[in-house]
Structure 1
């Protein structure tokens, strides 16, 4: 019964963005600094939507096609416009959202790597909160790209690994690795996207949809804590005060599930229908079964690497630089 109650509470936590709004309310009495108020690069007045309907969406956002006219060159390029959904109309809540968003996008803007989705800037006139602007590619996400490219899948995994190695070298934790967050550019290069998103979308009141991230979560992120009481607060949210921290090791675990997804073209644990079942499965020490995961696409070295990455003990999982070296030898 305890495990069932815990799993229900955990799934509600994930579906409502996991991190409580109060986690950054202690600083709410202080006005934001100028650096926190202003986006790193302001594209307001330079970006236009070319379609009224979004072409992609996630649990927290809608993505529209658009164009950006670079004022320095006059060149017009296609862009993806990401608008956060369900923002609080309360001015104070909106101010906190913008403050948090600016902090995270400033980190994104500081990153430059061939396997990281470029961040072009923020546009303040398209929606109730700033829209995040990035390049738009024809290949879309990795699922569409690999559908008829079996021979390219190892190269895609290696590109993802190199991108994650770069993030970790900058002490940036992705925190939401999964197939939907890997885009492919027009040259077939994989690009990590949406890293750090969960750190600023932590508001009650968002219209969210649980996107299956439980299938990529390390066991330490879903471990029950018997001394923590889970209960429904006045907002109808089940939460605790000891949310586990995302780490480089939890990223490595998620990477193993993402690599499995790329190799097979199917979700991790595709043979388990419910995400709650997956959580319990992983907590019991069980992992994907090679015999059920298109075994013909796995070499022994690849499967051994995945097993090391999804090890129960975080300290025994390899670091990303070692993973890249291993993949380069395959």
Structure 2
């Protein structure tokens, strides 16, 4: 369906909704791809992720196709720890389209922990793992897992969001399954080493995989307990060199030895040495799981 949509540059009519109103004049968040506004839909506050106005410009055209791709991946997801897509609004900012989702009043998981303390960090890490496990069970790689892309629902649960870099992969039984996209966009501080220098880690090309998602999950564990990404004080280029060389941050005093064992296994240098997100979720729930010791 995604290929058909990209070829015809149209979304299925079933995705479109009407009745969005009372939108804010200015965006709450702004980025290079689009802006996020608050609005109302069916009497509830919602978030409008607005794509910039379509023009003949090639960059804008790529953004349009990226918007279509994200909407198609997102619309099929149904899980407690995944933010739902309510539909596509095409009237509020016509001719721009907006993806409509519930408004998360608590904001990101990082803001929630900063405001409420870190007592719920382990519970939230389990919820994040379960949401990611659901994606992987559908042969979907998130591709941009990080603290700012995890929001907190009104009942206090972690919900994965932002599927702009999500891709399907060809072999559900392989941690090296090739994804549908080699788009190098994303947050390099959460990049696994094989995404930075593929040829040095047995990869033919840049390709997001379930294993690179697991690496990013390890970085999220570090974020939730420290409030910052790994190597926060270093510039991006220096971080990439450190990651390729196998360097990882030292264990923060706030992280237990048991959790740190999961983290070090999840950001192992070799993709195949990392546990699956299923094994991580089982371990977080206190059950038996095959989590290899990190070679670092």
User: Given the two structures, how large is their TM-score scaled by the length of structure 2?
Assistant: 0.81
Q: What does residue 53 of structure 1 align with? A: 26
Q: Which residue of 2 aligns with 1:142?
A: 109
The 5 A counterparts of 1:198-213 are: 213=187
Structure 2 residue 195 is matched with structure 1 residue 221? yes
**How much has 1:263 moved relative to structure 2?**
1.4
Shift, 1:243, TM fit: 5.2
Larger mean Cα displacement after TM superposition, 91-100 or 158-167: 91-100
Cross-structure match for 2:74:
108
Q: Is the 8 A contact 1:119 1:134 kept in 2?
A: yes
The 1:102–1:219 alpha-carbon spacing in structure 2 relative to 1, beyond 3 Å, is: same
Aligned to 1:184: 152
Question: What per-residue deviation string (whole Å, max 9, x for no partner) do you get for residues 39-98 of structure 1?
Answer: 54211x4112431011122342211000113xxxxxx1110011124x551188766654
Secondary structure of 1:48's counterpart equals: coil
* Alignment coverage as a number of residue pairs: 265
Distance of 2:283 and 2:218 partners within structure 1: 13
Q: Does 1:321 align with 2:294?
A: no
Let me know the Cα RMSD of the aligned residues: 2.8
Written as runs of structure 1 = structure 2, the 5 A alignment for 1:66-81 is: 66-69=39-42, 76-81=43-48
Q: 2:88 aligns with which of 95, 108, 122?
A: 122
Displacement, 1:273? 2.5
Task: Quickly say closer, same or farther: Cα 1:152–1:176, change in 2 above 3 A.
Answer: same
Q: Return the TM-score normalized by structure 1.
A: 0.73
Ranked by relative contact order (alpha carbons within 8 Å, sequence separation 6 or more), the top structure is 1
Equivalent positions of 1:1-330 (< 5 A) are 32=8, 36-43=10-17, 45-69=18-42, 76-85=43-52, 89-90=55-56, 97-125=63-91, 126-147=93-114, 148-197=116-165, 213-223=187-197, 244-270=206-232, 272-290=233-251, 293=252, 295=253, 297-329=254-286
Extract unaligned runs of 5+ from structure 1: 1-23, 70-75, 203-209, 227-241
Over alpha carbons, which structure has the higher Rg?
1
What is the alpha-carbon distance in structure 1 between the residues aligned to residue 223 and residue 14 of structure 2?
Answer: 34
